[in-house]
Structure 1
Amino acid sequence: MTQDFDHPDPSDRPGADSGKARLSGADGPLAHAGLRPRRGWYTTETRARYTLSRHWPVVFDLVACTHLPLLRANRLARQIRQDIWRELRHLRGFSPAVEIVHEGAGLKVRAGGSLMAGAAPAGTSAQLAALLNDPERRARWCHWARIRGQG
């Protein structure tokens, strides 16, 4: 199942370059779309949503969701992305992505990524869901991404 998200498209801007999106400086075309390239990773951040992905636009061919308490989204996304990569690095053409949305007093996490080389083997979605619900990983993520002043 492929899911595209409604993020701003840099080509919608008047005068925008119609070529491929590229990493550019703070004044480049991607900065005007709310994207901040950082070391080869695209990040977008609004008050309600944080997205981390290798490619833009974000596509989830493989996706799982979970809920977590209120944490620092950028740190949480980085830790989840690293664990997803460690778990699924054997998938040819896999590119991880994480989207975190503020919901009430907590966070909804969508994690997974795109598959550029075919479909995922059977059981990969279950493997991803198990990773997101692993108590030890969740405790580590919560510790690493806690907001200052939290226990």
Structure 2
Amino acid sequence: MARSHWHVLRDEQGLTLCREKPARFDVSVQTVLPDGNPLRYAHQIRQDLWRKLQRVRGFSPVVQLTRGADGSWQARVGGRASGPVPASIVDSIEDLLSDQTRRARWARHAATATTRQM
């Protein structure tokens, strides 16, 4: 059975999902997501981000969710890179985060569990 090697770093504001500690953003893009389970959001976004950027050598996804004042989630999505970061990575992350089909799937998945759970 496969083991998860992902770190879930929790604090009073939210959580960060990363492969390597400490979490580091060499590149990132931000968006706002509706209320839902933050861990479920983080895993779904991380999976889609990895699928999109898996050919970028040395890239490790990081997803950080922070609770907004209105109950929404402020998502910072990006990751760590072991070398120079091509400018196209930012465009790829922006495309991912603006994809309405994916956003709807993430929200459905995050709503299937207790939304206030962290």
Determine if the alignment matches structure 1 residue 58 to structure 2 residue 55: no
Determine if the alignment matches structure 1 residue 87 to structure 2 residue 90: no
Distance, in Å, in 1 between the alignment partners of 2:114 and 2:61 is 30
- Compute the RMSD of aligned alpha carbons: 1.7
SS at match of 2:46: helix
Partner AA of 2:78 in structure 1: G
Unaligned runs of 5+ residues in structure 2 are: none
In the TM superposition, what whole-angstrom CA distance separates every residue of 1:1-58 from its partner, at most 9, and x where no partner exists?
xxxxxxxxxxxxxxxxxxxxxxxxxxxxxxxxxxxxx721111123321110000011
Residue aligning to 1:132: 97
Residue aligning to 2:64: 99
1:33-48 matches, within 5 Å, as 39-48=4-13
Residue aligning to 1:109: 75
Determine if the alignment matches structure 1 residue 141 to structure 2 residue 112: no
Partner AA of 2:102 in structure 1: R
**TM-superposed deviation, 1:76:** 0.3
Residue aligning to 1:33: none
In the TM superposition, what whole-angstrom CA distance separates every residue of 1:104-148 from its partner, at most 9, and x where no partner exists?
1201000110001x1122321011011011100000000000155
Scaled by the length of structure 2, the TM-score of the pair is: 0.88
Partner AA of 2:73 in structure 1: L
Scaled by the length of structure 1, the TM-score of the pair is: 0.69
Name the % identity.
38
Distance, in Å, in 2 between the alignment partners of 1:58 and 1:130 is 23
Task: Could you list the structure 1 runs, at least 4 aligned residues long, displaced by more than 4 angstroms after superposition.
Answer: 147-150
Which structure features the higher share of helix residues? 2
SS at match of 1:58: coil
**TM-superposed deviation, 1:149:** 7.9
